[in-house]
Amino acid sequence: MVVLGSGSSGNCTLVEGARGRLLIDCGLSARETARRLQQVGCDPKTIDAVVVSHEHGDHVGGAAMFSRRYGAVIHTTAATARAAGLDPAGMAGLALHEAAAAWSVGDLTVDTFTVPHDAVDNVGVVVSCDGVRLGYATDLGFPTRLVYERLRACQILVTEANHDPMMLRDGPYPWSVKQRIAGRHGHMSNEAMRSLVAEVAVDATRHLFLAHLSGTNNTPDLARRAGRAALEDAGRPGVAVHVARQDQVSEVVET
């Protein structure tokens, strides 16, 4: 897997098995998504599916055009499809699932689960293949017990580390925006991420990706330090920590 981009301007992650390839979200433009896929040696036409977590533009903005241009079927919930204005007539295909559904693309099994955010039907994702589990949860105000349950025992974790509370408090955003970000349907802080990772990281965990960092209210160094502290708390200091960036692809991870 590889994070093609993560942040408030566009989110997209590639997950690949032996017989299936999918994107989790497509908030970059179709052109930029294709460019970054080619950068990591993936032909955009080989993408089978795009999983759309929710309707915000930084997660769905390029999805319809990417589907139309490269033939990938979009998978999401009915409520998210309506809120995002996804029209099957303008895409290669639209598959609708319940928020707690499981389905397959080639040898990849996708399980979705509800997460709290100011969207109509936001989901996190677990992708499994040949005994390897990747857990993905961004854009959530706080980790519910369901989030803990679904992310436990994943070899690869991709989780939000959006903001440092002190930077958010003292930063330039209007107070109403600060309240939204820090609220229970906003975005997860470094400290909330630390609590989550400390509980769900296990012996099998090999990689932790910190995603959706704010460019204003966080820094890669602060997020990385919180991630390493979380793994120390879990007794898993050997897990590799990666900070996903908005402007470039992450390291490619193979398991």
pLDDT tens digits for range 185-233: 999 999 999 999 999 999 999 999 999 999 999 999 999 999 999 999 9
Instruction: Indicate the pLDDT class of residue 16, thresholds 50, 70 and 90.
Output: very high
For residue 22, give the 3-state DSSP assignment.
strand
Q: Is the pLDDT of residue 255 over 90?
A: no
* C-alpha span between 135 and 126 (Å, rounded): 4
Q: Is the pLDDT of residue 123 over 90?
A: yes
In a domain, 151, yes or no: yes
Q: Is the pLDDT of residue 90 over 90?
A: no
Looking at residue 86, what is its pLDDT? 97
In a domain, 146, yes or no: yes
For 61-76, what is each residue's pLDDT tens digit?
999 999 999 999 999 9
CB 195 within 8 A of CB 143: yes
Instruction: Indicate the pLDDT class of residue 159, thresholds 50, 70 and 90.
Output: very high
Q: Is the pLDDT of residue 132 over 90?
A: yes
DSSP-derived secondary structure letter, 118: S
Instruction: Indicate the pLDDT class of residue 58, thresholds 50, 70 and 90.
Output: very high
**Residue-number span of the structural domain to which 207 is assigned:** 140-244
In a domain, 192, yes or no: yes
Contacts of 128 (CB under 8 A, 6+ apart): 108, 109, 111, 134
In a domain, 212, yes or no: yes
Q: Is the pLDDT of residue 94 over 90?
A: yes
Instruction: Indicate the pLDDT class of residue 11, thresholds 50, 70 and 90.
Output: very high
Instruction: Indicate the pLDDT class of residue 163, thresholds 50, 70 and 90.
Output: very high
CB 155 within 8 A of CB 133: yes
Number of structural domains, the chain? 1
In a domain, 152, yes or no: yes
* C-alpha span between 195 and 214 (Å, rounded): 19
Strands (E), the chain: 2-5, 12-16, 21-24, 49-51, 73-76, 94-96, 102-105, 108-114, 123-129, 132-137, 156-160, 207-211, 240-243
CB 128 within 8 A of CB 154: no
In a domain, 201, yes or no: yes
In a domain, 97, yes or no: no
Contacts of 217 (CB under 8 A, 6+ apart): 162, 163, 164, 167, 168, 171, 173, 181
In a domain, 104, yes or no: no
pTM for the model stands at 0.97
* C-alpha span between 173 and 121 (Å, rounded): 26
